[in-house]
């Protein structure tokens, strides 16, 4: 294949994976042979060392250094992606302890330095970490290539205001609760929240009536947005938040929802206040603009139409792919503009493939049990993967780590040796 998108194990219908892997991969597939694979796939290493261009989506594994070095030996190029401020992960995120480790932070920096280029998901991240590599590029989140239609609006007694977030937005949710609880005019609106139980709990006993929707996949989220008129995006002034994308803005706007966002981070670069959305610097300013939207339906409709028009014209991958294609093609020896013209290929997903192996589901559960300290279950599941894919190095490596944690040094060394032996063929085939 010409381009391989390599990522760490994660849910394939999550917002982050869709934004950073699937949707850009599908757009690139109109022009190149593109595949996406996670590190839990038994053939991931072989694919990674042989793809003409490799894009590593923030995988934090020392093995990536060996892959990059092997590829350099064959003059194959590698791009490393930094999509979050890895030095400032919030405590509320499950991966906080992992990214708080100095050794993991140093490894990310080393991977970025070793790669041929680094791509970022926001301008803030490039400004902060661009020093790691002389060749950098920013690829913001964009919408998938769909047939977007601006929903009609109908008169209603109360407007519906909504917010959605994962556990990583816990601090933002706490701020939102405080804002809504103290808003004198909160009875003028209906509040809709799509969030996990830990966040929904924040709204209990606050006097705020909330229509609750549990978290789901991207389709569930887009259906949730169809229920609301105004979407709020809280972005506290913290370093991790400053590196976030403006995803809520483009998602709100694409569904005909009026975005009202903190005047911070990527939002302040995407929104012209009062034109394609609204920005607020403090709580009183948010109250004022919410009341304007409630009392002035013509203003509300004008802004939502402008926001919808902008994102559906400029923030879809069909438009953005040219920038990414130009950047990637400079690293691909076989790329030819004459045979991969933007206008030649019109079939969606023509060249994009998602590579999935049946053992990945078992391995993912094993990894989760391992992290949570259920070593017995994790070991059983790792052994099950070994039975089904005996030449796959990863379950051998993970059992070795498990045995180290329970002080079984001899067994740990044995499984570690097997893992190294199984990895070797992928690299030796390239060096031949």
Q: Could you tell me the residue ranges of all domains in the chain?
A: 3-144+317-354, 159-314, 359-431
Superfamily of domain 159-314: Glycogen Phosphorylase B; (3.40.50.2000)
Q: Please name the residues in contact with 213: beta carbons below 8 A apart, sequence gap of 6 or more.
A: 164, 192, 193, 194, 195, 220, 224
Residue 259 structure tokens: 């975005």
3-144+317-354 against 359-431: fold identical: no
Residue 327 structure tokens: 């950047």
Residue 261 is predicted with a pLDDT of: 96
**205: exposed, middle or buried (Cβ count in 10 Å: 0-12, 13-18, 19+):** exposed
User: Using an 8 Å Cβ cutoff, are 392 and 359 in contact?
Assistant: yes
Domain 359-431 has CATH 1.25.40.10: yes
Domain 3-144+317-354 has CATH 3.40.190.10: no
Residue 339 is predicted with a pLDDT of: 39
DSSP assigned state of 194: E
Partnered with residue 80 across adjacent β-strands are 56, 118
**284: exposed, middle or buried (Cβ count in 10 Å: 0-12, 13-18, 19+):** exposed
Residue 337 is predicted with a pLDDT of: 47
Residues in the chain predicted with pLDDT less than 70, given as ranges, are: 1, 334-350, 428-432
The span from the CA of 109 to the CA of 246, in Å, is 25
Q: What is the DSSP string of 133-152?
A: -S-EEE----B-S----PPP
Is the torsion defined by CA of 185, 187, 189, 190 positive or negative?
positive
User: Using an 8 Å Cβ cutoff, are 44 and 389 in contact?
Assistant: no
Residue 127 is predicted with a pLDDT of: 96
Residue 344 is predicted with a pLDDT of: 33
The span from the CA of 244 to the CA of 222, in Å, is 20
Residue 237 is predicted with a pLDDT of: 81
């Amino acid at each position: 294949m010409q381009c391989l998108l390599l990522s760490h194990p994660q849910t394939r219908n999550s917002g982050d994976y869709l934004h950073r892997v699937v949707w850009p991969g599908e757009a690139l597939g109109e022009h190149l042979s593109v595949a996406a694979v996670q590190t839990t796939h038994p053939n991931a290493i072989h694919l990674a060392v042989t793809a003409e261009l490799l894009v590593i989506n923030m995988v934090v594994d020392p093995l990536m250094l060996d892959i990059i070095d092997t590829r350099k030996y064959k003059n194959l190029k590698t791009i490393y992606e930094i999509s979050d401020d890895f030095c400032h992960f919030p405590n509320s995120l499950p991966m906080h302890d992992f990214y708080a480790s100095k050794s993991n932070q140093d490894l990310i920096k080393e991977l970025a330095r070793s790669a041929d280029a680094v791509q970022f998901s926001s301008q803030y991240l490039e400004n902060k970490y661009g020093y790691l590599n002389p060749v950098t590029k920013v690829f913001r989140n964009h919408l998938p290539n769909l047939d977007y239609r601006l929903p009609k609006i109908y008169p209603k007694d109360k407007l519906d205001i909504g917010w959605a977030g994962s556990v990583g937005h816990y601090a933002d949710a706490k701020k939102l609760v405080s804002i809504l609880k103290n808003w004198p005019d909160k009875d003028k609106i209906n509040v809709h929240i799509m969030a996990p139980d830990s966040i929904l709990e924040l709204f209990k006993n606050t006097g705020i009536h909330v229509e609750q929707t549990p978290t789901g996949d991207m389709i569930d989220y887009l259906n949730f947005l169809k229920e609301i008129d105004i979407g709020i995006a809280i972005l506290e002034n913290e370093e991790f938040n400053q590196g976030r994308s403006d995803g809520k803005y483009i998602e709100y706007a694409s569904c005909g929802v009026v975005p009202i966002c903190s005047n911070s981070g990527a939002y302040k670069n995407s929104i012209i206040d009062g034109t394609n959305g609204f920005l607020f610097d403090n709580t009183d300013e948010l109250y004022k603009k919410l009341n304007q939207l409630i009392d002035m339906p013509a203003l509300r409709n004008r802004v939502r139409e402008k926001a919808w028009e902008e994102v559906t014209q400029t923030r879809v991958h069909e438009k953005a792919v040219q920038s990414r294609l130009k950047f990637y093609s400079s690293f691909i020896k076989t790329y030819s503009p004459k045979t991969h013209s933007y206008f030649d290929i019109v079939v969606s997903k023509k060249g994009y493939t998602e590579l999935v192996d049946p053992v990945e589901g078992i391995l993912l559960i094993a990894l989760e049990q391992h992290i949570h300290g259920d070593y017995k279950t994790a070991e059983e599941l790792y052994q099950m993967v070994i039975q089904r894919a005996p030449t796959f190095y990863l379950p051998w490596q993970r059992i070795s780590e498990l045995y180290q944690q329970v002080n079984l040094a001899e067994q740990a060394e044995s499984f570690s040796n097997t893992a190294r032996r199984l990895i070797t063929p992928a690299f030796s085939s390239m060096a031949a």
